[in-house]
Chains A and B, each alone.
Chain A
Amino acid sequence: MTTEVSAAEEFVPPSAPDFWQPLVGDGAFALTRSMVVMVLVTIGLAVVMMLVTRRLAVVPGRGQFRLEGMYGLVRNSIGRDIIGSAHFKPYIPLLFTLFTLILVNNLMGIIPPIQFPTMSRIGFPLALALGVYVVYLVAGVRRRGIGGFLKNLVPSGLPLFVVPVVFVLELVTFLITRPVTLTLRLFGNMFAGHILLLLFALGGEFLLLHGDGLLKLVSIPAFLMFFLFSAFEILIAFLQAYVFILLASIYIAEVYADDH
């Protein structure tokens, strides 16, 4: 991207800087495109949820039925089945927030005119992972106390010389690996997915505009791939939201598991 000529002649593949899209200002506190999407999604979810749950009937209408389907998935299939029916109730708001927020933000990656996946900026998945992190650490310490929590990291019955090693490994898993993987999984999926979409869209466009002769025709499969991957992204959007709360529930469930 040095001169006009080279921009026209050479194809510049999409890369990480394409995700940096400040709208107002610059630097660490610039207002970026993903912030706007995030805030819009949050407000949209808040409004829709408040409206749909304003008058809930025992016999549901159409909107309520859909909401209940999603809520049932989060509440029963994940919350109750993984955390256990004795302890899952306080975690439903967390899991439901995570699920809806991630799902809708992910879908924003392919919904025009937004077409920008918020979670491809690592700050947002990190914010969510921190939320889960705080919740499962606080729950663990509250249940067993700090001593009990640390003691519970090491399974009982290990040979004495293994205990310190396992303790360090488990501590690292608890304090670092889990939040980091939770963040990176979501971020990586949405980042890579969007790069793929960008690649097919920009590549197809480049071939169509700057390709020589028959090469222009190659833009057709490129655009087809774009549509295919857009459809695929819907699946990914749902899957990543699901996996995120699934893992969050597993981490929380461990707090209430009496044995390792």
Chain B
Amino acid sequence: MAIDNAVGVLAAEGGEGGFWEDTYPVIPHPGELIVGIISFAALYFLYKKYVVPRLETMLAERQRTIEGGIERAEAMQAEAKAALEQYRAQLAEARNEAAQIRDQARAEGQQILEELRTQAQEESARIVARGEEQIAASRQQVINELRGQIGALAVDLAGRVVGESLADDARRNGTVDRFLDQLDGMVGAGGRGGATAASEGTR
């Protein structure tokens, strides 16, 4: 029917325009439809085989690169964080250690001070003791000297008083010693000074 019509139109128009010039523009021209399909199909297969796979490969690679970059950055951040933690821990440890050392030093100082003090005390005690010893020795010496001198003086004095020469040394010595012992006994009696003096007076 359509073809008959087309033939009729062609016949009527003669060489003027032809069916394809005068027909409705919504009637597809077969040649154009075929060229359209072929072009479309050719381009489609080219895109499917080359263009789109290449683009997809590149996009996937880019995504991998970006993800790799992010991963690397994350790893580095984690590493930095770990290092910071470690550093902080070390710092805390060092502070702790320093505090410990300080405490220890303080304790040691205290101890040393204590030791020195006791040493000093011992030393002073020793010095005092030696001093006392020396004093005692000096006193003994003085007493011994005085005993000699007092003996001589007393004998001399007594000789003069009694007018009797005590030439005999042994006798003299015995007398002096007896006297001094008596003197010692009086000193040992202590508080009874008056009685001693009285007994001395009787002598």
Contact = CB atoms under 8 A, between A and B. Distances in A.
B141 interface: no
Given A123-B36, A127-B39, 11 more contacts: A20-B20, A49-B46, A68-B55, A93-B47, A94-B44, A96-B47, A121-B28, A123-B30, A123-B35, A124-B32, A184-B26
B32 A34 contact: yes
Contacts, number: 130
Contact of B52 (A35, A92, A127, A131): A92
B18 A26 contact: yes
Interface stretch (B57-65, B74-82, B118-126): B57-65
Contact of A31 (B27, B28, B31, B48): B31
B21 A93 contact: no
Contacts of B18: 26-27
A39 interface: yes
A89 B161 CA distance: 155
A127 B20 contact: no
Interface stretch (A50-58, A210-218, A225-233): A50-58
B128 interface: no
Contacts of B41: 131
Contacts of A187: 25-26
21 contacts: A19-B25, A22-B20, A28-B31, A30-B31, A42-B39, A46-B42, A46-B46, A53-B50, A58-B58, A58-B62, A68-B55, A89-B56, A97-B47, A121-B28, A122-B25, A123-B32, A124-B32, A126-B28, A127-B33, A127-B37, A131-B37
Contacts of B22: 17
Interface of B: 17-22, 24-33, 35-37, 39-44, 46-48, 50-52, 54-58, 61-62, 65
Contact of B27 (A38, A122, A128, A131): A122
A163 interface: no
A94 B45 CA distance: 9
The 8 closest A-B CB pairs, nearest first, are: A127-B36, A123-B32, A123-B33, A93-B48, A56-B58, A124-B36, A42-B39, A123-B28
A230 to B, nearest CB: 21
Contact of A56 (B17, B20, B54): B54
B43 A97 contact: yes
Nearest to B18: A26
B40 A127 contact: yes
A131 B44 contact: yes
A29 interface: yes
A42 B42 contact: yes
A28 B30 contact: yes
A139 interface: no
A137 to B, nearest CB: 16
Interface string A123-142: 11011101100000000000
A243 B136 CA distance: 131
A71 interface: yes
A187 B48 CA distance: 26
A101 B41 CA distance: 11
B48 A56 contact: no
Contacts of A124: 32-33, 35-36
A128 B40 contact: yes
Contacts of A200: none
Chain B CB within 10 Å, residue with most, of A68, A126, A184:
A126
